[in-house]
Chains A and B, each alone.
Chain A
Amino acid sequence: MIAEAGHYALVLALAVALLQAALPLWGARARDAALMGLGSPLAVAQFVLVAISFAALTHAYVTSDFSVLNVVENSHSAKPLIYKISGVWGNHEGSLLLWVLILVLFGALVALFGRNLPLRLKADVLAVQAMISVAFLLFVLVTSNPFRRVWPAPLEGQDLNPLLQDPGLAIHPPLLYIGYVGFSMAFSFAVAALLEGRVDAAWARWVRPWTLTAWLFLTLGIAMGSYWAYYELGWGGFWFWDPVENASLMPWLSGTALLHSAVVMEKREALKVWTILLALLTFALSLLGTFLVRSGVLTSVHAFAVDPARGVAILLILSVFVGGSLTLYAFRAPVLKQGGLFAPVSREGALVMNNIFLTAACAAVFIGTLYPLALEAFTGEKISVGPPFFNMTFGPIMLPVLMVMPFAPLLAWKRGDALRAAQGLTFAFGVAILGTALVAGFLRGGPTLAPLGVGVALFAMVGAFAEIQERTKLFRAPLAESLRRARGLPSSAWGAALAHAGVGVTLLGIVAATAWSSESIVALKPGETAKLAGMELTFDGVSQRKGPNYRSTIAALTVREDGKVIATLEPGRRLYLARNMDLSESSIATFGFSQLYASMAEERDDGQTGLRLHYKPLVVLIWLGSVIMSLGGLLSLADRRLRVGAPRKAARPAPALQPAE
């Protein structure tokens, strides 16, 4: 009963979404407040229905209801509860349902909290959101229905892919999806603006919180995915330039560009046409990301042929939304009025540079990811574009972004003074030179360019706070004065500084962990010792353990430095019984920001055990930097300016802004 009620709720949500896509749009064209006002209650109703549906599927997973095909294929009664729940979105059908749930959640949030939005804009935005959800609900119901039933029900399920039975991957997809789907808000706002034929500074301000939310969750999601790959896949790498990863990196790059160009639009009404285009493209890339991962097309173009219904539906959705919005853009963009003028050296100019290079970097990733697919589809020739391609293109393109990053906040709007900005960065520059010199002087080994990388990272980290220092007159005015000014700074200024510093921290982690990591592949007998990065790792032997749905073999290692035990490591291999799949489980010891990493290969007949040992200096900074970036986004989101009109409205005499519902 519960499963079928969930199924019906999903169909009903589709019907509600159809109404929401049509009625408010009609109202907006006819300027009928009653019809426009339908958008909000319908959006909330749609969210409630999809939430019921999602809860019903979760219930089927938790109670191991094997009369639901999706549960049979992805769950097992012996699986721990957390993986029963995460199993809901650990598969194609369920993850699409989660995608829709987040989409309608955003719609409901606009409905409930977008009280300061003009009625027409809000009606248009909700209608466009509903069109997206109509497409996805149809896709889910017709080609990927998670509520398909089996009768008679099998006695046991086939279990979730063991690779996915990990706490990191339990929360990774929701984070990533909040990011992907959040950009649908920017898309809907952009389409609404094109429909209205008008964008202005106020529009940029209304889009900002949604874009910022999407961006910060996407940042966390990517970082989480990278950390998962690092410890779960047993190779000690943190980024593989795998198509799945690239699919999430592309919207991040264009989303970052969007965030910055929207600032220019809000302050100066410039870059309007470009910002709208970025908003459309960012969501297009998010859609592409969702589908690339979900359609199996990454594996091989032929996977498309295996399930033609799904493949065609995916192509259809992509072409309707990307093609449709770009066509609308081509017709309506020229109507948009143009905005403020600025000199090449100015805050705007710097942000344009940021946009150009981020877009170019995104294009490089795009080409590297999709070219092999296109080539295979058209010629049948299989090629692979590996990390070397991305290292040769992405790095050089991103370098100017990193170099300009500390300058931009120091430049004035309209016309900036490069020299004064450079003076403001003297300290950061000094730190960077010193750091480079120290690293080059004291650290042996590693690529020759690595110390320079450390310098750039330090420059970004310290330079990020130059604007704060400038605006609070720190070291130039009395401390009390500086503190007073610091309190007066809008939290978005702190947010920007923090986010920029986070980029530097991540870069430092990447440079250090790549250039000075040490690796050793050994085969040891119990009692033997391997040496790595000044530490001695003694192999104590192998033991067996039993988990809820797996058996594991654990190799115990004692780590000593100067004869003192500083850590123990227990890498192992797990045999998941339901799928008869054998996976390695790495073990990590953290020292400060550096990590010692061990994974186990196989026990061999000669009594030796194969072990892979890594020492990764400062590797934690990679993810710490991402968290700092997200914190910066959060601070910026807390800026009171984004809440214009909402709380203070009541105090004003004219309650005109409350849109009637």
Chain B
Amino acid sequence: MTALWLTVALMTGAAVFVVLGSLARRREVPADAAEADVAVYRDQIDEIARDRARGLIDERDADSARVEVARRLIAASDRGGLEAEAAPSVRRRRAAAVIALVGLPLVSLGGYAVLGSPGVPDQPLAARAKQAPDVSRVADMVSRVEAALAKNPDDGRGWEVIAPIYLGMGRADDAAGAYRNVIRLLGSTPDRQANLGEALFAAAEGVVTQDARIAFERSVEGDAPSIKGSLYLARAAQQDGDLPAALARLKTLMERAPKDAPYLGALKDELQRMAEVPPLPLPTGAEAEALKTPEQRMAKVREMVDALGDRLAGEGGDLGEWLRLARARAVLGDTDKARAAIEQARAKFSGDGRAAARLDALALGLGLEGRGA
């Protein structure tokens, strides 16, 4: 702010100085004004002489042209005496100086006072990206947008801006309300419906409620169904215990996804989550203390996994153990053994639809089958 006022003062001062400096400069009594005209006509006469010398015009033309220009030359010289400048007047100069000294700052500062916003700092994008989103500023911005929306509740874009911020701040109910306004004011799109559903899901603390389900179902209608909507519908099916339906949804998403789709990772995580693999019991306590290096730890894990594999192959086990084995194998990089474990488990639990769905989900989620394979 200080820098701005300093600049303003500098510029104004310089402008005033330009006027005063020019007025104060001593000048000779100016020459007669017709001198400039005379110079042009002299040049024209010179030019006629040059053209004549090169033979570009003949003598007769040159003469008549010369006479014509000469007449103008004489007229201009005569005028000279009449147009002598008046003597510089101190009074006029002083008046001009006062106008500059008072009028200039008056107009410029007055004008700027009406038009300018001296309090607003520059906000180049690079500088904004550097500074972390300051909580107080986010809160400040939210309250400003809220004030604007209170005045103009039909501003759909405003609601659309604030909705994700609400969700990020944990105000899921407000976010859901904001998304409802967006849809009412700007129309329904798959993305907006999916966002509404997500907000409702968050508001219900991670349960897909009936309202949320309706929103998600709307989000997958039409030509460009929402990916997010599909994911949540799969979650809803899981929540209802209908694993095959959830799997089917995720499978379709997986098949339709482009190779470099950004949501593939989320999709795989969701599939693995769906398989409900129990964690591998890792060594604890003193046993873990003994394993100093990562290599030693890896070797121990391998040993345990191999033991689990041998045990399952020999005496069999429950589905959780098979899933655990398959995932451990895949994580260790033994994709072939992981695949074999899945196959063996499928054979063992062939009658159980739920088990098959969990196995399929894991195979897909680990990238052992389907497009990721």
Contacts and interface: CB of A to CB of B under 8 A. Distances in A.
A14 interface: yes
Interface string B26-49: 011011111111011101100100
B120 A11 contact: no
A644 B43 contact: yes
Nearest to A473: B55
B124 A18 contact: no
Contact of A119 (B30, B100, B128): B30
Nearest to A12: B108
Contacts of A44: 18
A1 B7 contact: yes
Interface string A115-142: 0111111000000000000000000011
Contacts of A37: 22, 25, 27
Given A7-B115, A641-B47, A661-B22, A14 B108 contact: yes
A607 interface: no
A42 B19 contact: yes
Given A64-B124, A661-B25, A5 B85 contact: no
A33 B30 contact: yes
A523 to B, nearest CB: 23
B52 to A, nearest CB: 12
Interface stretch (A147-155, A224-232, A453-461): A147-155
A67 B123 contact: yes
Interface residues of A, number: 81
B61 interface: yes
A145 interface: yes
Interface string B128-152: 1000000000001100100000000
A350 B144 CA distance: 71
Contact of B8 (A3, A5, A644): A5
A42 B32 CA distance: 24
Say what secondary structure dominates the interface of chain A.
helix
B33 A4 contact: no
Nearest to B137: A152
Interface string A1-31: 1111101110110111011001100110011
Contact of A30 (B56, B92, B100, B115): B92
A250 B50 CA distance: 38
A579 interface: no
A370 to B, nearest CB: 34
A268 B11 CA distance: 48
B93 A34 contact: yes
Given A152-B144, A641-B43, A31 B27 contact: no
B185 to A, nearest CB: 19
A66 interface: yes
B37 A8 contact: no
A531 interface: no
A27 B115 CA distance: 32
B125 A16 contact: no
20 contacts: A4-B116, A8-B116, A11-B108, A19-B19, A19-B100, A30-B92, A45-B14, A52-B11, A65-B122, A118-B33, A120-B33, A120-B83, A151-B120, A200-B76, A201-B41, A202-B36, A413-B65, A645-B40, A656-B35, A657-B36
Closest A-B pairs by Cβ, 7 of them: A656-B31, A63-B124, A64-B125, A15-B107, A660-B27, A31-B86, A202-B40
Given A153-B123, A660-B28, 10 more contacts: A5-B8, A38-B22, A41-B21, A42-B22, A45-B14, A67-B120, A116-B39, A141-B111, A202-B36, A644-B40
